[in-house]
Amino acid sequence: MSTQITESETESETETEEQSAGGATAAQQQRRLEAKRARAEAEEAERTAEESALDGETYTLKVFRYDPEVAGKERPRFDEFVVPYRKGMTVLDALIYARDHYDSSLTFRHSCRQAICGSDAMFVNGSQRLCCKTQLSDLSNPVRVEPLPHQEVVKDLVVDMQHFYDQMDAVEPFFQTNDLPSGLDEQQQTRENREKIKMSTRCIWCAACVSSCNIAAGDNEYLGPAAINKAYRFAMDEREGEDLKQHRLEIIEQEHGVWRCQTQFSCTEVCPKDIPLTKHIQELKREAVKNNLKFW
């Protein structure tokens, strides 16, 4: 008798659990359907907003395209994208809009979007610029966007930066000293010396200056304004000592170093961080001359 009651109770509990599970499944399905409808409504609202925006002020981007790995796209061309304008919109914002809404294969570099990483330097309306720093409202419409000149194009707006990095590495762009302080003492620098090298420390390795330099375009071994500026930053730092300054001057005195600069100021004009590159190169020339002067 007790066994029959137990089996009956077990069957009743099983039916209750199944009904409960079925109810839970139905509730979950209902929630999924509601979430799906909400997403569809949000997408429709976004499309409506985009269509409404296109009725307002727009900018046309003429973007350089090139993809050597895809049949039919090996030949360079320009594609046009019409982008709705909003106040404060940058060239990078417009490129991201074009990629996300029109062509997901559009390729370009960007990272911090705050003019710090230097990855989105491009040739915009005939000048080297950081796209994240360049306002659309400051440019004529249409906006022509191309990869940095004098660099090998990998795909679309992406160029090969390896040679640029090799030139930067050639000047040993890191702090060196033979006079390390002991214990917890600081290696102090005078305010005057800090002010002297302050601007040179702002380089973000964007390569805009090298791309604008006609000498670098014709001489692949030329160190270039970015690397020479980096050498200036350390050669003029009083904490490294005279022997290391001598070593750095020997690096930049070479045939393809500072003496190849023809003082065209193009690097200074395009630098997004306003570094007086040409001035720094001329100062290093004077230091090199003084270093080689002999009185006897």
The 10s digit of each residue's pLDDT in 199-226 is 999 999 999 999 999 999 999 999 999 9
Q: Is the dihedral of CA 145, 118, 278, 261 positive or negative?
A: negative
Cα distance from N-terminal residue to C-terminal residue, the chain: 125
Residue 134 CA to chain centroid, in angstroms? 13
Which of 159, 158, 53 is CA-nearest to residue 101? 53
Integer Rg of the chain from CA: 30
Which of 268, 169, 175, 276 is CA-nearest to residue 223? 169
Distance CA(170)–CA(248), nearest Å, equals 10
- Which domains, ranges and CATH numbers included, belong to the chain? 58-158 (3.10.20.30), 161-178+192-292 (1.10.1060.10)
Distance CA(164)–CA(269), nearest Å, equals 19
Beta bridge partners of 135: 90
Residue 291, pLDDT > 50, answer yes
Distance CA(55)–CA(253), nearest Å, equals 59
Q: What is the pLDDT of residues 39-98, one digit of tens each?
A: 888 877 766 666 555 557 999 999 999 999 888 888 999 999 999 999 999 999 999 999
Beta bridge partners of 124: 127, 145
What's the Cα-to-Cα distance from 146 to each of 86, 96, 190, 203, 271, rounded to whole Å? 23, 15, 43, 22, 17
Which of 284, 250, 251, 278 is CA-nearest to residue 265? 278
Mean pLDDT of 5-26: 57
Burial of 196 from C-beta contacts in 10 A (0-12 / 13-18 / 19+): middle
Q: What is the pLDDT of residues 122-174, one digit of tens each?
A: 999 999 999 999 999 999 999 999 999 999 999 999 999 999 999 999 999 99
* Two tokens, residue 155: 């795909």
* Two tokens, residue 12: 């009743």
Angle between helices 224-235 and 277-292 (to 10 degrees): 60
| CA within 13 Å, CB half, 51 | 6
Quote the pLDDT of residue 55.
57
pTM of the model: 0.77
Which amino acid, 79?
D
Beta bridge partners of 81: 61
